[in-house]
Amino acid sequence: MGTITESGNVRVIVTGASGRMGRMLVRAVTEAKGMQLAGATERSGSEYLGRDAGELAGSETLAITLTDRIEHCAEADVIIDFTAPEATLAHARFVAEKGLRMVIGTTGFTAIQLAELKHILADTPAIMAANYSVGVNLALNLIKQAAEVLGPDYDAEIYEAHHKHKMDAPSGTALAMGHALAEGRGVDLEKMAVYAREGMTGAREKGSIGFAVVRAGNIVGDHKAMFISDEERIEIGHVAADRMVFAKGAARAARWVNEQRSGWYDMRDVLGLS
């Protein structure tokens, strides 16, 4: 079982705490009941090192300053990490060494990096999800169910849009939708996915799963799975209006994983949807 402090709070370290999501995570942890911020980190050379995590997050001063040395943070139970693949791997090694728990929201891993991450955390309670929104995870279940019922006679397309600074494409959430759809159909996504179309592509192959990507402005997150026949179109979508929805979900996941035995979980486990 997870560690219980004298105050009964789950102690959390937020990595990448000066970024857009990092600041939201700091707020979510400090505002959540039964949780407390134990530390906040940022990459070496960041202009924000030494700044107060609470002030950066737009809340009250927390007397917790950003450091580039995770080992300098106070004792913790869980690390929440929404950074980049290489940084997440380094943080995972620290988690495994110290016997902590981990909540991972980083996307863009290669297959080799993901295998390494799972190896590092083999004996650790860890959650990894492409999206920590409760609504998105409900949508994933609906997409799987729709794919089971409609089958390959309905053309399947996944659309996603994000802000212009996002580094990876398709988004982790779009890929999660693709995997849910493929699982519902009983096929391998990588064998059926079409990630790009240009030039004389020919007629659509039956059973293929197409992806469309938009990167523009300050879009927080817009995702939609479409099932299309000659007679009708079914859409299952989710629009995020504020990144705080992801941060609150991650804080909820941190509280849940602190009570779990070693294992590899996702947000649907947290919500009891698996």
Claim to verify: residue 145 and residue 219 sit in the same structural domain: yes
Catalytic entry in 91, 144, 162, 179:
162
Tell me if 5 is assigned to some domain. Answer: no
**How far is residue 47's CA from residue 136's CA, in Å, rounded to a whole number?**
34
The predicted pLDDT at position 5 comes to 52
pLDDT reading at 8 higher than 80: no
If you ran DSSP here, which 8-state letter would residue 131 be given?
-
Model confidence band, residue 111 (pLDDT cutoffs 50, 70, 90): very high
Tell me if 233 is assigned to some domain. Answer: yes
Claim to verify: residue 253 and residue 234 sit in the same structural domain: no
Claim to verify: residue 257 and residue 174 sit in the same structural domain: no
The predicted pLDDT at position 49 comes to 96
Claim to verify: residue 250 and residue 220 sit in the same structural domain: no
162 is catalytic: yes
Crossing angle (nearest 10°) for helices 134-150 and 244-257: 90
Claim to verify: residue 99 and residue 32 sit in the same structural domain: yes
Claim to verify: residue 257 and residue 182 sit in the same structural domain: no
pLDDT reading at 96 higher than 90: yes
> With 0-12 CB in 10 A as exposed, 13-18 as middle and 19+ as buried, what is 30?
buried
The predicted pLDDT at position 3 comes to 55
Claim to verify: residue 236 and residue 251 sit in the same structural domain: no
CA angle 105, 111, 113 (to 5 degrees): 65
pLDDT reading at 1 higher than 50: no
Claim to verify: residue 110 and residue 59 sit in the same structural domain: yes
Claim to verify: residue 262 and residue 213 sit in the same structural domain: no
Q: The tokens of 173 are what? A: 């959430």
CATH number at residue 155: 3.30.360.10
Tell me if 2 is assigned to some domain. Answer: no
72 is catalytic: no
Give the number of domains in the chain: 2
pLDDT tens-digit series, residues 70-92 = 999 999 999 999 999 999 999 99
Q: Containing H/E element for 192? A: helix 189-192
Are 110 and 86 in contact by the 8 Å Cβ rule? The answer is no
CATH number at residue 115: 3.40.50.720
User: What mean pLDDT value characterizes the chain?
Assistant: 94
The predicted pLDDT at position 2 comes to 54
pLDDT tens-digit series, residues 222-273 = 999 999 999 999 999 999 999 899 999 999 999 999 999 999 999 999 999 8
**How far is residue 49's CA from residue 24's CA, in Å, rounded to a whole number?**
17
Tell me if 1 is assigned to some domain. Answer: no
Strands (E), the chain: 10-15, 35-40, 78-81, 101-104, 125-128, 155-162, 193-194, 209-215, 221-228, 233-240, 263-265
Tell me if 69 is assigned to some domain. Answer: yes
Claim to verify: residue 175 and residue 264 sit in the same structural domain: no
Tell me if 45 is assigned to some domain. Answer: yes
Catalytic entry in 98, 118, 163, 166:
166
Claim to verify: residue 88 and residue 142 sit in the same structural domain: no
Tell me if 4 is assigned to some domain. Answer: no
| Average pLDDT score over residue span 7-35 | 93
Claim to verify: residue 51 and residue 62 sit in the same structural domain: yes
pLDDT tens-digit series, residues 167-225 = 889 999 999 999 999 999 999 999 999 999 999 999 999 999 999 999 999 999 999 99
Tell me if 3 is assigned to some domain. Answer: no
| Average pLDDT score over residue span 97-101 | 97
Give the structural domain span for 265. Answer: 10-128+243-270
